[in-house]
């Protein structure tokens, strides 16, 4: 008989960066449904509070902490408030990231600031958050880190050049941290989503309607992903059901990488 309690996260405390909307919100709600208490770390306090209320409506404790994950002092405050409230940190989901129109600059016109802003948000933040929270996890010899990468880590990222480069760095950092932290019983994995249907889809040059039509024709499973598709994979990787999995980058893209 299958032991479904291995998927149970009751009593665990999770931090989700960028948890106020989109994929991050889907992750927060999935973790809550699996039993975890959830800290919603987000630059926008209003969206963080809204997601925290939805977590609480599920019956879990939740704390909204306005946090810019590019600022070490704000990360330190996030860690301190979480430990003060819940006593420890069991799960970290490095979800904060993305692109903006300001980052979407052609190669020959890109400034150093364009590059740095994308890499800081999508790669440096993963390092900073993981380092600070690993310092909480190492003494207790237990912890889970899940990094959100991207399908663009495996392909040319013509729309936002530093974004794809940063996400490729996330994959390498995931494998490196997994090796370093394994002796402390801390597992580190990454998820590489395909195109996920969120309110930010279509921010770049391609209109949302064009993206939807393109993916309808090309994704083998015939649909865009949802935030919940990513959220439940996070639950799996954070649970005892994945106890022998570390250092992996799991593509969740409807089979898009299978295409020639």
Specify whether 163 is catalytic.
yes
In total, how many domains does the chain have? Answer: 1
Note whether residue 157 is domain-resident.
Answer: yes
259 occurs within a structural domain = no
Cα torsion 76, 21, 142, 88: sign: positive
Segment-wise mean pLDDT, segments of 10 residues, the chain, 260 residues: 84 98 98 98 97 98 98 98 98 93 82 93 98 98 98 85 95 98 98 87 55 73 92 98 98 82
Is 178 a domain residue? Answer: yes
Question: Contact 7/236 with Cβ under 8 angstroms?
Answer: yes
Domain presence at residue 214: yes
In a domain, 217, yes or no: yes
What is the reported pLDDT for 155? 86
| 177 within 8 A of 188, measured Cβ to Cβ | yes
Task: Give 197's Cβ-side CA count (13 Å radius).
Answer: 13
Q: What is residue 205's predicted lDDT score, i.e. its pLDDT?
A: 46
Which residue, among 141, 102, 146, has the nearest Cα to 246 in the 3D structure? 146
In a domain, 137, yes or no: yes
Q: In angstroms, rounded to a whole number, what is the distance separating the alpha carbons of residues 164 and 248?
A: 18
Question: Domain range for residue 197?
Answer: 4-252
Residue 161 counted as domain residue? yes
At 41, list the tokens: 């770390």
Q: Catalytic residue among 151, 154, 163, 232, which?
A: 163
Residue 257 in any domain: the answer is no
CATH of the domain at 133: 3.40.50.720
Q: pTM for this structure?
A: 0.94
């Amino acid at each position: 008989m299958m032991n479904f309690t291995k998927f149970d996260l009751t009593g665990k405390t999770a931090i989700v960066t960028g948890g106020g909307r989109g994929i991050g919100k889907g992750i927060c709600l999935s973790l809550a449904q699996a039993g975890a208490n959830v800290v919603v770390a987000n630059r926008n306090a209003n969206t963080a509070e809204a997601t925290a209320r939805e977590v609480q409506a599920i019956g879990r404790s939740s704390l909204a902490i306005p946090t810019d994950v590019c600022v070490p002092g704000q990360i330190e405050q996030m860690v301190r408030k979480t430990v003060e409230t819940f006593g420890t940190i069991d799960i970290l989901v490095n979800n904060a990231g993305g692109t903006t129109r300001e980052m979407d600059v052609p190669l020959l016109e890109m400034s150093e600031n364009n590059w740095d802003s994308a890499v800081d948000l999508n790669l440096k933040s993963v390092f900073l958050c993981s380092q600070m929270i690993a310092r909480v996890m190492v003494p207790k010899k237990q912890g889970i880190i899940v990094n959100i990468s991207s399908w663009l880590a495996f392909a040319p990222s013509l729309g936002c050049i530093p974004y794809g480069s940063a996400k490729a760095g996330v994959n390498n950092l995931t494998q490196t941290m997994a090796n370093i932290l394994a002796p402390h019983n801390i597992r580190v994995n990454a998820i590489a989503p395909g195109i996920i249907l969120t309110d930010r889809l279509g921010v770049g040059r391609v209109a949302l309607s064009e993206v939807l039509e393109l993916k309808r024709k090309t994704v083998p499973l015939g649909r865009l992903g949802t935030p919940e598709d990513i959220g439940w994979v996070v639950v799996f990787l954070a649970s005892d059901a994945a106890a022998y999995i570390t250092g992996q980058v799991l593509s969740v893209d409807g089979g898009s990488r299978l295409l020639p």
